[in-house]
Structure 1
Amino acid sequence: MTAPEIKGWRAVAGSMIQASYEVAFVLLPVLVWILVLLSLGKSQDVKTLAAWPFASLSLFSAMLRDGISAFHQDTTKDKEQRDLIVVFALIGVILSTVLLTLAVMKSTGQVTYLWSFFYETVWTFVAISALLLFVTKAILIQRKSYGRYV
């Protein structure tokens, strides 16, 4: 491998590690809540936590913030990518807010029935938002910490 290739791999590996930390940090409140429930022997409550849609909302919001910061250059490519990230993030924020509202209403008894795959929908949103934040954060870190614009 040549020196630029090694530097490129270090940037990619370093940004992926840092992006993993950032995603875990956003999910930390939900992870603590899960640990408390598990320590109390209420593992059955973990999958129906109202915090899952909140986690999705937080992840999409962080993606919006980091996407705008990562694609800040005044080039056509950056503008297009920034616009795409903003659209995806706003759609994610809106839908996550709807899911959060429904989950809270279900947990307080205001809604008695949600569609049978409601929590699968929520977990899908959490997974998608975590993946999108991870990629956006890795790009941001590569650009800011390593000066690598691909």
Structure 2
Amino acid sequence: MTLHITCAALDAIVRRAHAEHPIESCGMVTANIGLALAQRVIPMTNQAASETFFRFDSRDQLRVYRDLNARDEECRAVYHSHTASEAYPSKDDVDYAGQPEVHYLIVSTWAQTKVPVRSFRIIDGHVTEESIVVVDAA
């Protein structure tokens, strides 16, 4: 699998991750139903306000999903940052990944990171890294 995302969306996610460091940033990236290109970033509040864990506010998440339905969009990717480790799913990330159709995008803001942005599919506890295609959509 491959995550297709606009340059503007990826830039916004990376900027927000660095701006919110050392707290993990999080949110969603949406696409029009039936299209593969992830393009609209929806920043969410990390209710956990943690340096090592993120959790969407359930009321905020419900509001976002209602908005997606009204706009004929779907969640294409869930993103969050890692502030003190590589961009690779933690045990908690794997345990809480409940949407097998969604890409899980991780941005590392850790100074020693080797690859700062990576995307994964997490299905039934199995992690598979996938490629990212960045599209310069006008």
TM-score tier, shorter chain, comes to under 0.3
More helix per residue: 1
Higher relative contact order (CA 8 A, sep 6+): 1
TM-score, normalization by structure 1: 0.24
Larger Rg: 1
